[in-house]
Amino acid sequence: MKKALLILFCLALTGCAAKGTTVVLIEDPDGTVGQVTVRNHAGAQTLDAVRQSTTAAAPSKAPEPVRVADQDEIDTTYGRALRALPEPVETFILYFRTGTSDLTPESRPVPARILASIARRGSTDVRVYGHSDRVGTSETNQRLSMERAEAMSAILVDMGVAKDIIRTSYHGEGNPLVPTEDEVPEPRNRRVEVLVR
């Protein structure tokens, strides 16, 4: 959805010439389509399907009726802006054994995929975020999430990733993937998220 909003913003900017603001809704990289309402003082139009568009010519004039833009029209009018967008961030989630910074067997192949993504993109920006579940004290989980983030960073460095492109942070039991009560073990919260930009 964030990507669609960014694309929407770019399309709106490129459609802002003398004709007002044109908004075209296009799909996210994963194929999903969000929804946006174009509103001014005179009215509103809601776009909720791929390639729907509307133009707001002036603040005192309601946005035009929704229409479906032709793909060739989108390519011709907005192609340069769309091609200038950065590749979407790629996210990898790796899981850990309870109370340790040891990867689960299912997560052991993931670092190779991360390395391939970094190489393919020529990335110079890799973020590593450590997390824990809520078993144990908050202080213990903060330390454990740090150890997990640092362990993942070390794995990447050992595989040849430059240390200076990796930024690590850790959240302890905050920011759970699955909210739980205290002392409830949740394997999906014992994780590291790696973002390759």
Strands (E), 41-155: 43-47, 52-56, 67-68, 90-95, 126-130
| pLDDT recorded at residue 13 | 46
| pLDDT recorded at residue 29 | 80
Residues 112 and 36 in one domain: no
- 128 pLDDT band (50/70/90 cuts)? very high
Q: CA 18, 25, 76, 81: dihedral to nearest 10 degrees? A: 80
Residues 39 and 75 in one domain: yes
Residues 79 and 101 in one domain: no
Mean pLDDT on 62-71: 96
What global pTM score does this model have? 0.73
Residues 66 and 100 in one domain: no
What's the structural domain count of the chain? 2
| pLDDT recorded at residue 19 | 78
- Which among 51, 84, 117 is the end of a domain? 84
Residues 94 and 178 in one domain: yes
Mean pLDDT on 53-82: 95
Residues 115 and 33 in one domain: no
How many percent of the chain have pLDDT more than 90?
Answer: 85
| pLDDT recorded at residue 54 | 96
Residues 52 and 130 in one domain: no
Note the pLDDT tens digit of each residue in 154-170: 999 999 999 999 999 99
Residues 103 and 165 in one domain: yes
Residues 102 and 172 in one domain: yes
- Which among 84, 117, 143 is the end of a domain? 84
Give the domain range for residue 175.
90-196
| pLDDT recorded at residue 86 | 87
pLDDT higher than 50, residue 10: no
- C-alpha span between 196 and 80 (Å, rounded): 24
- 141 pLDDT band (50/70/90 cuts)? very high
- C-alpha span between 66 and 72 (Å, rounded): 18
- Which among 44, 66, 84 is the end of a domain? 84
| pLDDT recorded at residue 22 | 94
In terms of phi and psi (left: phi > 0; alpha: psi -120 to 50; beta: otherwise), the region of 37 is beta
Residues 108 and 76 in one domain: no
Mean pLDDT on 37-44: 95
Residues 15 and 35 in one domain: yes
Residues 107 and 47 in one domain: no
Mean pLDDT on 40-67: 95
